[in-house]
Amino acid sequence: MADEKSLNSRRSALKCMAFGGAGTLFALAGGVLTPIELAAAVADNQGAARAGKPLFVQISDTHIGFNKEANPDVNRTLMQTISLVNGMSEQPRLIIHTGDITHLSKPAEFDIAQQMFSGLRTTEMHTVPGEHDTTDATVSEYFNRFGKASRNKGYYSFDHAGVHFIALVNVLQFKAGGLGTLGAEQLAWVAADLKGRTDSTPIVVFAHMPLWTIYEPWGWGTGDSEPLMAQLRRFGSVTVLNGHIHQIVQKVEGNMTFHTARSTAYPQPIAGVGPGPGPLKVAADQLPTMLGLTSVSVVKHPWSQVLSDATLA
Amino acid sequence: MFTGRFRLLQRSAGAAMLCWVLATGPAPAETPDAHRIVVKNFMFAPMTLTVKAGSTVTWSNMDEEPHTVSSDTGLFRSGAMDTNEIFSFKFDKPGTYHFTCSIHPRMVGTIVVD
């Protein structure tokens, strides 16, 4: 995807930045997001100006408790990610976590994660659960810690810097052989939440599993996402953020931008490569280039947003 | 947590007898009537297992990715089984029992109890 020129500018960008950065950045102009090479954008001052004021940062799939060969020290890579956020020249006030905080839903894993998150300088953190966070028999470990914002429903909304955020849960109602599910109750709640909001309200929707079908044989999608999209299409700027697949996949459809984040823990294979979406083992020096975070900045109030992805490399 | 899970399973199973084991390391010595389902490469193998009433079925996860064994009716639910962990359930009543992995819902299997 990257040509030689962008690779060169990426290299120069890596030299300039404490942790480096690589990926694609999206600038929103007139309701349409346009991809810009992130490395090219940060390599020059104009690019830095385009990157704008940081609105929020997305981290995902921290999988605290994972200890296999693909990354024996996920705590260390999460700490690196936290340092990357804390080291941003302009501190974002908000961070969202798109699920799989833990690997096995164990209390000790949640405790370690919370302790590490407390090292973030961001003042506000919002989460949604991943399916790895809800495997305990009573599905209570996640909700005991992060359920307050949603009164234990898991889905909720809030406003930040003029943007309306909608946090959704698509990991609690799996049907055998099926994709993630939002369910009628949650969809009705979204309809009520959006009712009366003007089309010009910027919307960010986030959930753990992709809210569009990326690869059905691996369950990379949400079976009843279409009724949700139908409700969102009238808005001038919609950003849909997910995790789950431990790699970046993006789609732009009308005024809607879909983006999945990298994991901070371990990469996963490209759709359909190998028997299933398990941990992908890569060379140790390659691993940091496949882990990272997504940051979203406001370029020009009230409309322009930029998505950029940074790696730990 | 172990006790809590066990109690929940007892409640959901009603009066049915059940056995629940989740352990790290090699599986303990098997009883003669043990029935094994291997969880590997994101599949249950065999996908369908027929046993006699009173049999205990044991699932063992051989993947590097955790899996669960979750009954469609809520009769049994393993919690996350990490690599080399096992889960057992005793089937007392004849019937057809469908289960899935709640982490990877495309993974499905069936126990037929004669």
The enclosing domain of A86 has a CATH number of 3.60.21.10
pLDDT, tens digit, 9 for 90 and up, residues A212-232: 999 998 999 999 999 999 999
More confident residue, A94 or A49: A94
The percent of residues in chain A predicted with pLDDT above 70, rounded, is 79
Domain with residue B22: its CATH number is 2.60.40.420
Residue A63 placed within a domain: yes
Query: Domain tally for chain B?
Result: 1
What is the arithmetic mean of pLDDT over B63-88?
Answer: 95
Put simply, the answer to whether A277 touches B104 (Cβ < 8 Å) is: yes
B9–A177 C-beta distance less than 8 A? no
How sure is the predictor about A51, in pLDDT bands with cuts at 50, 70 and 90?
low
Cβ of B47 under 8 Å from any chain A Cβ? Answer: no
Q: How many CB atoms lie within 10 A of CB A32?
A: 14
Least-confidence region, from A130-139, A253-262, A284-293, B1-10 = B1-10
The answer as to whether A109 is a domain residue is: yes
Complete edge-to-edge strand list for the sheet that includes strand A250-253: A156-160, A163-167, A203-206, A238-242, A256-260, A250-253
Residue A19 lies in a domain: no
User: What pLDDT score does B16 carry?
Assistant: 39
Q: Give the least confident one: A28-37, A119-128, A197-206.
A: A28-37
Predicted ipTM of the assembly: 0.77
- The pLDDT mean for chain A works out to 82
Q: How do B55-61 and B35-40 pair as beta strands?
A: parallel
Per the domain annotation, does A39 fall within a domain? no
Give the pLDDT confidence score for residue A196 in this predicted structure: 93
Give the pLDDT confidence of A251-262 residue by residue, as tens digits. Answer: 989 889 999 999
On whether the CB atoms of residues A49 and A297 are closer than 8 A, the answer is no
Closest in B1, B43, B68 to A107, CB measured: B1
For the cut 60, the answer to whether the pLDDT of residue B10 exceeds it is: no
pLDDT of the residue at A52: 59
Chain B contact set for A275 (CB, 8 A)? 41-43
Q: What are the tens digits of pLDDT across the range B37-64? A: 999 999 999 999 999 999 999 999 999 9
**The domain containing residue A91 runs over which residues?**
55-311
pLDDT of residue A258: 93
Are residues A258 and A252 in contact, defined by beta-carbon separation less than 8 angstroms? yes
Residue A35 lies in a domain: no
Please check whether residue A48 lies inside any domain of the structure.
no
Does A100 contact chain B (CB < 8 Å)? no
Residue A47's pLDDT is: 43
Domain count, chain A: 1
Q: Is A47 on the interface with B (CB under 8 A)?
A: no
In a domain, A185, yes or no: yes
- Predicted pLDDT at A145: 97
What residues contact residue B73 under an 8 Å CB cut-off, 6+ apart?
Answer: B97, B98
Residue range(s) defining the domain that contains residue B11: 2-113
| Residue A282, pLDDT score | 94
Is residue A6 in a domain? no
Tell me whether residues A175 and B105 touch, CB distance under 8 A. yes
